Structure 1
Amino acid sequence: MKTVERSLQKEILSHENLQVNLSVPLLVEKILKRKEGVLTATGAVQASTGAYTGRSPRDKFIVRDASSDDDISWGAVNQPIDEESFHHLYEKVMKHLAKQKEIYQFKGFAGADPNYRLPIQVINEYAWHNLFARQLFINPSVEELASHQAEFTVVSAPTFKADPKIDGTNSETFIIISFKERVVLIGGTEYAGEIKKSIFSVMNYLLPKRDILSMHCSANVGMEGDVALFFGLSGTGKTTLSADPYRRLIGDDEHGWSPNGVFNIEGGCYAKCINLSEEKEPQIYNAIRFGSVLENVVLGEESRLPDYDDVSLTENTRAAYPLENIVNTVSPSIAGHPNAIIFLTADASGTLPPISKLTKEQAMYHFLSGYTSKLAGTERGVTEPQATFSACFGSPFLPLAPSVYAEMLGEKIDQHDSSVFLVNTGWTGGSYGVGERIKLSYTRAMVHSALEGELNNTETMTDEVFGLEIPVHVPGVPDDLLYPKKTWTDKAGYDTAAQSLAMKFHENFAKFTKASDEIKQAGPVYKG
């Protein structure tokens, strides 16, 4: 038995008050009794995460050891930490948890397809974090629970704070993955999203080794069985656009594409709540009920009604709820191969077209680029949109080199003849601060036309800077909106902003030295 397994068994799994796979009502009772959160008027539990209202990417590490050293793409995203530091910190966390009056354990799975799922367990210091894990991962049946053997363990101890001078971390916070020990160690942060995203990082390492493309995307399926994928970083609209009353939801954030088709990695949704309304997003709005978890959502003092427009705590307000809270879902969360792939970006420059159809080379260019404007609140220190490039629309969660995932996607696009579109859910009529966000109703109309095949053979015009094929007409969308320059009063200002963005694309793509000339030439035309 490994050292970490012995320590886990001794300190945690033999704890006299270990609470294993509690039901939702019992967890809610624990949360309220321990004053970890409050009950809202909708029946959801609300909890605040203190200073950490988003992910802490600078505090994320992977243990550098012989088993994974050659596989990991080391750098700013995948920071190395040595085995000795990990083991010392692990033992300190174990002793910290052993002193708690209660510890919570969730046993379940990541991966809806039984052929490829990963048995996991999540050990929590907080009951509300355990409820979060229960709602976000896949719950076992009674029979599965009885025979469950975890192959990866997440240990979350938010009140344990590291000492960087002693523990080898960058701050009091740490998220450390050891592929050798098959453990994720989290401490110093109450942001529950770290639990979810750490397992996604694990799956992004394990699945490609089994010839399965792991993807940061949402997915749904139409009435005829046609499958759509929505790639994009947080805040670009994956959850919103995949929750379509006319299509069944497969999942809202993380998927695998196997030889059999697409499957959800999760069992729930983790939706952004900023400006949420029943009118604009009825499926998400009505999914937030008993058993759901609201993170950093401000409540009415007397009414206990959520105020989704209040961003006084953070713009990164969140709701976690199980997939079954969405009426129109696929169960189990498995479907066929994608007919259409949507790349989502929230372009703060206001120069990318609202929708364009991509060639395979353009698809590979934009997949490797993974451009969006990082929105406020998703990470600590981000207070307004910043242009960012995140390879494969999920660089923070990719242990392997981006080329591994990109090559797999290219092969699957060819194999299954999938259509690919770039959709800008960002600004129009000017850059951020001058223009306005593209209306959700217009974006929905464009996506609908793309998924229905209406744009496959429609007349297009070529964008002079980005080289993208823009539909001349999309039902339900003003024609002038489709071509960004027409929406700008300051045409010279548009030219400057477009060239500025084109330059950023070129500067970013320079690191992909092994990309073919065809893919490199599929990017914007920069005249600098």
Structure 2
Amino acid sequence: MAKTCVDDLATTLGKTNVSWDLPAATLVEQSLQRNEGALSETGALSVNTGAYTGRSPKDKYIVRENVSEHKVDWGAVNQPVERDVFLALYDKVLKYLGEKDQLFARHGYAGADPSTSLTLHVVNEYAWHNLFARQLFIRPDEPSPSEQADFTVVYAPGFQADPAVDGTRSETFIMVSFEEKIVLIGGTEYAGEMKKSIFSVMNYLLPEQNVLPMHCSANIGQEGDVALFFGLSGTGKTTLSADPKRELIGDDEHGWSNNGVFNIEGGCYAKCVDLSKDKEPEIFNAIRFGAVLENVVLDDETREPHYDDKTFTENTRAAYPIDHIPNALLPSRAGHPSTIIFLTADAFGVLPPISRLTKEQAMYHFLSGYTSKLAGTERGITEPEATFSTCFGSPFLPKPPSVYAEMLGEKIDIHNAEVYLVNTGWSGGSYGEGSRIKLSYTRAMIQAALQGELQSSETMTDPIFGLHIPLNCPGVPDEVLQPKRTWQDPDAYNEKALALASKFNENFAKFLDVAENIRNAGPKTCATSQF
């Protein structure tokens, strides 16, 4: 039998000191001794990731091999790299790691449904990266050293590629080989690359097992009713899914199988910019010993985290095991969802605060994955900008988008799930003129959706977006539900609504293989709003 990359890794590990499956306390001690971080006042390990404070999507590659050649949706997101380039770089990384005095490794798995879980081995140069892996992946009750891994992560942040020699774009590389079952990472200290690489692997593997992988949060009510929350950054996904009256299944990554919904991860990777105990007490209290703080400024004397300080980045993060959340469901799996929420923060101020979607509309908005960036959030943005991320997670989808959308449509049909589009953005005008929809209103609308109170509510259909808007909702003024009624100038509303509708249609034009009935579920730019 031919020697594999995993065999070569085993040889390398046999030549150096490797610490397997260290507990959190020991990994914290090792990190402090190695000057990888500092202890914060809360007990969390605080680290700085250097030049890279977020993912590096332009440096992410999938190895073009026999098993992936005809299954991957190649392009700007799924960039191909040839097998010989990967193997040459892999050999260099192994040589680099083999010269280290100590490495850290662990067993874990992805996917809380045992029938489809992925066993993992993670090998790290840094102790704190191994702590991150411990907290974010699912921890086995009794690690089995002899167990063969379904996938192995090899992470060498201190090794930098030479683009002229190694065939990379920069010194950073994140490469996934589905034939060798290896994730190879180097040139960046941002630990989120591990988490999202395995999510991408699951997005490749799970559909072949009739499981829909989803970039969403999930919770469950006292009656066993499961809800999914999809949404891009800034839409309120974490805040709205963290409900003290419901158990948290998971924060970010899930699968939907014939058995129901399950968490892919064993922890949470929460943004903590401007975090406060009053606004998000569950996350605030979860950042204690065993948690990892990334790029958060600490007070020089007290070491208290300054969550409002964006000196290093706005993308400050906290990684912690899911059992740091008091109402977490363990094990993290439940039945089929009865309610699906698509969250968007519409800064144009024209989408309804809540609307019911048909199955075709659900598939359309799932493929669109719309929200908006705000003026001032990025250089060059002077007014709201429409942003679309396919399936609310386009950077992590190796297969064509239609694969995921069709699976969602089938599961909505089979399990009679109600789907809602919830706008957590602006009302009464665009950003700068109108105001943000009150969080109390959004919570009331979501509660009404989860309790089934909107299923029998009379609706009206928006002639531009085709959305079915409830005429009333407990706890929300009727006029708030109809966006045009909140604008002082109806003509200005029509102009903005038609402009956003055009952006939806322009974005959707790229989906050439989508059925006509789904395409027709989008906005109509020839319409005018009459109410």
Query: TM-score by structure 2 length?
Result: 0.94
1:266-305 aligned within 5 A: 266-305=265-304
1:485 aligns with 2:484: yes
What's the CA shift for 1:74?
Answer: 0.5
Corresponding residue for 1:133?
133
Compute the displacement of 1:471 (Å).
Answer: 1.9
Cα 1:6–1:276 shift into 2, 3 Å:
same
Q: 1:418 to 1:59 in 2, by over 3 A?
A: same
Instruction: Give me the whole-angstrom Cα distance separating, in 2, the residues matched to 1:383 and 1:335.
Output: 44
* Whole-angstrom CA distance in 2 between matches of 1:114 and 1:457: 38
- Provide Cα deviations, 1:296-330, integer angstroms capped at 9, x if missing partner: 12222222112222222222111111111111121
* Structure 2 residue 103 is matched with structure 1 residue 103: yes
C-alpha distance 278-105 of structure 1, shift in aligned 2 (>3 A):
same
Deviation at 1:434, TM superposition (A): 4.0
- CA drift of 1:174 comes to 1.1
Aligned amino acid, residue 257 of structure 1? W
The equivalent residue for 1:245 is 244
Question: What letter matches 1:4 in structure 2?
Answer: C
Q: Which residue of 2 aligns with 1:20?
A: 20
The amino acid that maps onto 2:214 is M
Q: Within 5 Å, give how 1:313-332 maps onto structure 2.
A: 313-332=312-331
The structure-2 alpha-carbon separation of the partners of 1:438 and 1:93, relative to structure 1 and needing over 3 Å to count, comes to farther
Map 1:405-424 → 2, pairs under 5 A: 405-424=404-423
Q: Distance in 2 between matches of 1:380 and 1:98?
A: 42
Summarize the Cα distance change of 1:28–1:517 in structure 2 as closer, same or farther, 3 Å threshold.
same
Q: Provide the C-alpha distance between the structure 1 equivalents of 2:376 and 2:194, rounded to a whole number of angstroms.
A: 18
- C-alpha separation between the residues in 2 aligned to 1:382 and 1:140? 46
One-letter amino acid of the structure 2 residue matched with residue 70 of structure 1: H
Question: Structure 1 residue 449 and structure 2 residue 448: aligned?
Answer: yes
Measure, in 1, the Cα distance between the counterparts of 2:204 and 2:375.
28
CA distance in 1 between counterparts of 2:154 and 2:518 reads 42
Stretch deviating more after TM superposition (171-180 or 426-435): 426-435
Q: Deviations over 1:337-376 (max 9, x none)?
A: 1100111122232222221110111111101111122579
> SS at 1:420's partner residue?
strand
Counterpart of 2:206 in 1: which secondary structure?
Answer: helix
Residue correspondence of structure 1 range 139-178 to structure 2 within 5 A: 139-142=139-142, 144-178=143-177
**Change in CA separation of 1:83 and 1:277 when aligned onto 2, cut-off 3 Å:** same
Distance 1:98 1:31 in 2: 20
**CA–CA distance in 1 between the matches of 2:74 and 2:412?**
28
Residue aligning to 1:49: 49
Kindly indicate whether the alpha-carbon contact (under 8 Å) linking 2:63 and 2:81 is maintained by their aligned counterparts in 1: yes
Q: Secondary structure at the match of 1:447?
A: helix
SS at match of 2:522: coil
Structure 1 residue 209 displacement after superposition: 0.7
Residue of structure 1 equivalent to 2:192 = 193
Shift of 1:111: 0.7
- Measured in 2, the distance between the counterparts of 1:506 and 1:403 equals 17
Structure 1 residues 251 and 477: CA distance shift in structure 2, 3 A: same
**For residues 401 and 513 of structure 1, what CA distance do their matches in structure 2 show?**
11
Aligned partners of 2:295 and 2:313 also within 8 Å: yes
Q: 1:151 to 1:242 in 2, by over 3 A?
A: same
- CA shift in 2, pair 1:137/1:376, >3 Å: farther
Answer yes or no: is the 8 Å Cα contact 2:49–2:295 preserved in 1: yes
- AA paired with 1:123? V
Name which of structure 1's ranges 65-74 and 465-474 shifts more when overlaid on structure 2.
465-474
Q: For residue 393 of structure 2, what is the aligned residue in structure 1? A: 394
Given the superposition, is the C-alpha separation of residues 446 and 18 from structure 1 closer, same or farther in structure 2, using an over 3 Å criterion? same
Alpha-carbon displacement from aligned partner over 1:370-400 (angstroms, at most 9, x marks no partner):
1122579999999997422221111110101
Change (3 A) 1:96 1:435: farther
Q: Which residue of 2 aligns with 1:258?
A: 257
CA separation of 1:482 and 1:501: change in aligned 2, threshold 3 A: same
Contact 1:215–1:255 under 8 Å retained in 2:
yes
What corresponds to 1:71 in structure 2? 71
- 1:478 deviation in Å? 3.5
Conserved 8 A contact 1:362-1:522? yes
- Relative to 1, partners in 2 of residues 1:498 and 1:241: Cα closer, same or farther, differing over 3 Å? same
Alpha-carbon deviation of 1:428?
A: 3.0
Q: 2:82 corresponds to which residue? A: 82
User: CA separation in 2, counterparts of 1:156 and 1:488?
Assistant: 52
Find the counterpart in structure 2 of residue 9 from structure 1: 10
DSSP-derived class of the 1:145 partner: coil
CA contact (8 A) 1:235 1:272 kept: no
1:213-263 CA distance string (max 9 Å, x none):
111111111000011111122332222222110111110111111111111
Q: CA–CA distance in 2 between the matches of 1:87 and 1:445?
A: 54
Contact 1:262–1:335 under 8 Å retained in 2: yes
Structure 1 unmatched runs, 5+: none
Relative distance call for 1:316 and 1:105 in structure 2 (3 A) is same
- Is the Cα–Cα contact under 8 Å of residues 52 and 380 in structure 1 kept in the other structure? no
Secondary structure (helix, strand or coil) at the match of 2:159 reads coil
The total of aligned residue pairs comes to: 526
Residue 359 of structure 1: aligned partner = 358
Instruction: For 2:151, give the aligned amino acid.
Output: F
CA contact (8 A) 2:347 2:374 kept: no
